[in-house]
Amino acid sequence: MEKNPIIAGNWKMYKTIKETKDFLEKLSSSLNNQRANVYIAPSFISLFFAKEIAKDTKIKIGSQNMHYESEGAFTGEISPGMLKEIDMDFVILGHSERRNVFKEDNSLINKKVLSSLENNIQPILCIGETEKERDSNSTNEVLEDQLTKNLLNVSKTQMKNVIIAYEPVWAIGTGKTATPDIAENAHLYIRKVITKLYDKDIANSTYILYGGSVKPDNIEILLGQHNIDGALIGGASLKIDTFLEIINKS
């Protein structure tokens, strides 16, 4: 890792508004010039309050999903304009729980990526293989397919604002972290695909985060890999002490 790392917390469907406020107040008062760029994705209902607390800090606040249309008859959905109105910095797209539980496919994720970029909300695009795909040696093929389809029509200029998160599905919330070698090889391959789709400079400058059971005791070795630029963290981002330990070790 050569860049200042991004340490991003994905809170999924955890934390009430009060819990979100308490956490962010503690987090903002504990941060003082750490190297890491800190991103937090609370639930939709807490976003406005989270941004209020984070607005005079370096903490970036974003959502875990969004619709790609600017408005319409889409019951239960949130538009990019609604997120922009409350100054959201980023949006997580294509998380494996969105792909697997809510059946989002590559074409839908591509529409969301394009829409987030058009609306100046930085996408964190998640990709990753299932255990079955890894066992059948198709990891690289799956990663290339997801990148090619999810980034379709994303221009070179727009690509400079895209963050990629490599999240092997078998490592998410399971306690099974990818070994540093497995993660590094996947990140290296992702950079090769970005070089093929764009160019070497863009590939080198793109942040590629690792996600999957990141904890205080494995963050340093993961960030020690040349192609790992940060982490997207679920479970371990929910407890302030654990999350701060990760930030301080980054």
List residues binding ligand PEP (CB under 6 A).
10, 167, 172-173, 211-214, 232-236
Nearer to ligand PEP, 90 or 198 (CB): 90
Phi, psi (5° rounding) for residue 10? -105, 110
Q: How far is the CB of 75 from ligand PEP (least distance, A)?
A: 25
Is residue 131 annotated as a catalytic residue, yes or no? no
Nearer to ligand PEP, 62 or 198 (CB): 62
Is residue 187 annotated as a catalytic residue, yes or no? no
Q: How far is the CB of 101 from ligand PEP (least distance, A)?
A: 12
Catalytic residue among 67, 95, 97, 129: 95
Q: How far is the CB of 33 from ligand PEP (least distance, A)?
A: 25
**Inter-CA distances, 181 with 32, 37, 166, 195, 221, Å:** 32, 24, 13, 21, 10
Nearer to ligand PEP, 81 or 173 (CB): 173
DSSP state of 43: -
Q: How far is the CB of 91 from ligand PEP (least distance, A)?
A: 14
Catalytic residue among 104, 129, 133, 167: 167
CA dist 80 and 87 (Å) reads 10
For 123, the 3-state DSSP assignment is: strand
Burial class (CB in 10 A: 0-12, 13-18, 19+), 107: exposed
CA dist 122 and 180 (Å) reads 27
Q: Which residues are catalytic?
A: 95, 167
